[in-house]
Amino acid sequence: MEPPVAAPPERDQPHWFGRYGTAVLFLLPAAFVLGLWIVYPTGYTVARSFFGRQGFGDFVGIDNYKSIFTTHLLVKAIENSAIWILVAPALVTAIGLVFAVLTERIRWAVAFKTAVFMPMAISLFATGVIWHVMYIKDPQQGAVNAAIGAVRGWFTSSGVLQDAQPSSSAITGTTATGFTLNKPLAAGDTAELGLTGIPPDAVPASAKQAVQPQPAQGAIAGVVWRDFSPGGGTPGKVEKGELGIPGAKVALVDSSGKQVQSVKAGDDGSFTFPNVTGSGYKAKVAASTFAAPFGGVSWLGSQLITPSIIIAYIWVWAGFAMVVIGAGLAAISREVLEAARTDGATEWQVFRRITVPMLAPVISVVFITMLINVLKVFDIVISIAPGSTQSDAAVIAVQMWRQSFGGVNDFGLGSAIAVFLFVLVVPVLLLNVRRFRREV
Amino acid sequence: MAAYTEAEAVPVVRDPNETVGAKIGRGVTRLPINVFLLAVGVLWLVPTIGLFFTSLLSAENYTLNGWWKVIAHPHLATWANYSNVWHNTDIPHALLITAEIAIGGTVLPILIASLAGYAFAWLDFPGRDWLFVVVIALLVVPLQMALIPIFSLYNTAHLYDTVFGLILFHCAFGLPFAIFLLRNFFIGIPKDILESARIDGASEWRIFFRLILPLGLPAIASLAIFQFLWTWNDLLVALVMARNTQPITVDIFSQLRQFGSNIDIIAPASFMSLIIPLGVFFAFQRYFVQGLLAGSVK
């Protein structure tokens, strides 16, 4: 391909330069840079893609292209890019549209737009670092998991203990089923639920010396405690130095197996089931006492890594979609909308039947822009994905870099991947050219 | 497409005869939208704030505490990480290189694109529209197409690992958009102004420097911000075209391998890398938005 300079016909040089010389001088620097840095490399890369790793002496035909669709890592990258293409542009556009429409109804639209638009200024690489910190698995460190853990905590509480065993054969069960006292109980009885196998530092800090329960009229009193003191002690007996288990959940089950009461043990491990009549009851340390705390969703693991990165990407680009669509929205005639409302159209009907169709050109510009952008996504992927899941997260542009420069150094294959990427944007290229032709 | 300005934001139509009851009614129906958008707005700010707070935690506090604990326990925060990054790492040097690349990568393409944009808009030459179509076509060529040949070219031309080489690369891939944008802006300049200058005998160069550039300043400003952010934030080009001449993104990237143990360097360095683009963004937000709207075909 020639550099884009109008080549002068040789014979009418004097006339020609007099007329067009200035134009040529104005265009020359751009022609030089575009020609050398974009046009020539495009031709070079296309040619290079038919040669192997060794260079231009190593003609391999279309083998490099075959490799793209047969090498496991590259197929995975194409799959990931397909997910990106299907999900990201649509979500960014939809979210931008919703934000643009909603911000028209608030008085602090400028502040909102600034907040949502701000990530556009941050590099995709730094965005990756930001979200890597957000996505850390441990809910103590990763904010996303901390938030999920907090919401989860409103519905289910995690137990006070992780591990325990019955301290004697008077009790049966496991942490998964709960621990049941074998002896049937009647009103006025006491229940001693001794547990061992609890690491000392696992006992809640508020624990106090356990207290031997006293029988009470019309009630069943009891204690849940760590039935172990240094030097052994007697299993099944509350002794000095043995701590209660505060917060342990104890359930009272009647003879038909139905739970009738449930209480939490105090700091000294004591509990009481009041208003008990009759007999045949069983006392049980409920399994929820040992429910594991929320360990965190593995956002950066191989399963979720691509959706996680797409969320971060949406965080960056939603502002772009919002602003561009918002500008289109401002250009829509208010009268049309108001007329529809006066005629009794609901807000949803106005949105669906008037706003969206009138915005269609702007929406398609945003969508196409995002489509091209998504194909080239690179920085954010390599900075969010930890080393262990980089190949699970890799997209076409990442593999282009990896195969060419990131250790593999196969320029033939790298060129073929670049050409593949280029072919994917050609329809957009033709669309742009057609749009320009129509304008002129 | 219309450029966005706050003044153009259409005011909500209000009926002056609206009763107090109707006002309250509207306020109530707006309440869910306000609450929802407030939540979204806060949510959008959290990640950036999170990085900032993380950057204030010492390495040992980081492994024990989530960054949000800094809010309740401000004594956990320390500037020691920043001081350490500033004095004991090559991050300041990397920032300097980043600035050189970003400034050069902004000024050069704008200069070249203004010349070409003027030619496309106001000079007459054969094949003008055809050549402009070529520029539009180049707009979407992925820069991946140039990485391998330019890498080889730079190695022979001794431009590998130089700031100038990086500037030229950014210049090339910023040019199609810049020419497109400036040509479209220049063409909107009233023809009378140019015609009368030409009749007065002003040369094209004089017209360009005295008329076009000053009149084109709004477009040049939005382009400059765009190009500045683009080059400042680049990772891929510098990763391929440089080894020791590292801008800050590449410098931090080389630390990423030990994410957990290096967080007290990565977090403050990342935050330092985004302060300048963020400042540029807040200072020139309007131009930035105009640039986006004018050229959202890139």
Q: What's the CA gap between A264 and A195, in Å, rounded?
A: 16
Q: Are A379 and B235 inside 8 Å of each other by CB? A: yes
The minimal CB distance from A6 to the residues B127, B252, B285 is found for: B127
- Chain pair A-B, CB pairs under 8 angstroms: 314
Q: What is the pLDDT of residues B184-205, one digit of tens each?
A: 899 988 888 888 888 888 888 8
In the predicted model, is pLDDT for residue B55 greater than 80? yes
Shortest alpha-carbon distance between residue B200 and chain A (Å): 18
Instruction: Name the residue with tokens 């920085």.
Output: A379
- The Cα–Cα gap between A196 and A227 comes to 6
Beta carbons of B297 and A140 less than 8 Å apart: no
SS (H, E, C) chain A: CCCCCCCCCCCCHHHHHHHHHHHHHHHHHHHHHHHHHHHHHHHHHHHHCCECCCCCCCECCCHHHHHHHHCHHHHHHHHHHHHHHHHHHHHHHHHHHHHHHHHCCCCCHHHHHHHHHHHHHCCHHHHHHHHHHHCCCCCCCCHHHHHHHHHHHHHCCCCCCCCCEECCCCEEEECCCEEEECCCECCCCEEEEEEECCCHHHCCCCCCECCCCCCCCCCEEEEEEECCECCECCCCCCCCCCEECCCCEEEEECCCCCEEEEEECCCCCEEEECCCCCCCEEEEECHHHHCCCCCCCCCCCCCCHHHHHHHHHHHHHHHHHHHHHHHHHHHCCHHHHHHHHHCCCCHHHHHHHHHHHHHHHHHHHHHHHHHHHHHCCCHHHHHHCCHHHHHHHCCHHHHHHHHHCCCCCCHHHHHHHHHHHHHHHHHHHHHHHHHHHHHC
Give the pLDDT band of residue A157 (cuts 50, 70, 90): low
Chain B residue numbers touching A400 (CB-CB < 8 A):
144, 147
**Residue B181: pLDDT over 60:** yes
User: Is the minimum CB–CB distance between A131 and chain B shorter than 8 Å?
Assistant: yes
Contact A246, A266 (CB under 8 A): yes
Q: Which of B116, B281, B297 has its CB closest to that of A30?
A: B116
Domains plus CATH for chain A? 1-48 (no CATH), 63-148+299-439 (1.10.3720.10), 165-290 (no CATH)
Chain A neighbors of B34, CB-CB under 8 A: 106
Q: What is the mean pLDDT of chain B?
A: 86
Contact across the interface for B48 and A119, Cβ inside 8 Å: yes
pLDDT band at B258 (very low <50, low <70, confident <90, very high): low
Centroid of chain to Cα A79:
18
Which residues are CB-neighbours of A155 under 8 A, at least 6 positions away? none
Note the pLDDT tens digit of each residue in B66-88.
888 888 888 888 899 899 989 88
Q: Would the pLDDT of A246 be above 60?
A: yes
With a cut of 0.90, is the ipTM above it? no
pLDDT value, residue B115? 95
> Can you give the pLDDT at residue A65?
96
Q: Which pLDDT tens digit goes with each residue over A113-141? A: 999 999 988 988 889 989 998 998 888 88
CA-based nearest distance B133→chain A, Å: 6
Distance CA B260, CA B128 (A): 56
DSSP state of B292: H
Distance of residue B161 Cα from the nearest chain A Cα, in angstroms = 14
Domains of chain B, each with CATH number or no CATH = 13-78 (no CATH), 90-294 (1.10.3720.10)
Contacts of residue B126 in chain A, CB cutoff 8 Å?
Answer: 6, 20
What are the CA-CA distances from residue B82 to residues A299, B93, B248, B265, B269 (Å)?
29, 14, 15, 8, 8
- Mean pLDDT, residues B53-62 taken together: 85
| pLDDT tier at B24, thresholds 50, 70, 90 | low
The 10 Å Cβ neighbour count of residue B190 is 9
B interface mutation test: which of A24, A33, A53, A350 has the most B CBs within 10 A?
A: A33
The minimal CB distance from B142 to the residues A27, A121, A425 is found for A425
Distance CA A423, CA A336 (A): 42
CB contact under 8 A, A432 and B136: yes
Q: What percent of chain B has pLDDT over 70?
A: 88
Shortest CB distance from B115 goes to which of A30, A42, A425? A30
C-alpha to C-alpha distance for A84 and A93, rounded to whole angstroms = 13
* CB nearest to A132's CB, from B62, B253, B259: B259
Q: Which residues of A touch B136 (CB under 8 A)?
A: 432-433, 436
Task: Mark B205-239 as b/e (b = at least 16 C-beta within 10 Å).
Answer: eebbeebbeebbeebbbbbbbbbbbbbbbbbbbbb
The values of phi and psi at residue B16, to 5°, are -65, -25
Contact A287, A178 (CB under 8 A): yes
**Closest chain A CA to residue B298:** A369
SS3 B237: helix
A324 has a chain B CB within 8 A of its CB: yes
* CB-CB neighbors (< 8 A) of B239 in chain A: 401, 405
Question: From the list A29, A41, A134, which residue is nearest B146 (CB)?
Answer: A41
CB-CB under 8 Å, A365 with B143: no
Q: With an 8 Å Cβ cutoff, are A34 and B129 in contact?
A: no
Q: B134 to chain A: nearest residue by CA? A: A4
Question: Minimum mean pLDDT among B32-41, B86-95, B103-112, B260-269: which range?
Answer: B260-269
Closest residue in A to B233 (Cα–Cα): A123
Q: Does the pLDDT of residue A3 top 50, yes or no?
A: no
Would the CB atoms of A34 and B172 count as touching at under 8 Å? yes
